[in-house]
Amino acid sequence: MATKLFGEQYVAKMDTPGTTKESRENMHDTSHAGSLGDMDAHYQQYRRCVDAFEDIISENTEPYDILGDKRMTGEDIHKAFIEAVKSQQKWHKAELDILDSLIELSDSFKVTDSL
pLDDT of 8:
63
d(CA 21, CA 14): 10
pLDDT of 71:
77
**40 and 52 housed in the same domain:** yes
Nearest residue to 81 (alpha-carbon basis) of 99, 57, 115: 57
Q: What parts of the chain have a pLDDT lower than 70?
A: 1-34, 64-69, 111-115
Q: What confidence tens digit (pLDDT) does each residue in 54-82 have?
A: 999 888 887 766 656 677 888 999 999 99
CB-based contact 86:93 (threshold 8 Å): no
Which residues constitute the domain of residue 18?
Answer: 1-31
Count: domains in the chain: 3
**2 and 25 housed in the same domain:** yes
**16 and 27 housed in the same domain:** yes
**51 and 66 housed in the same domain:** yes
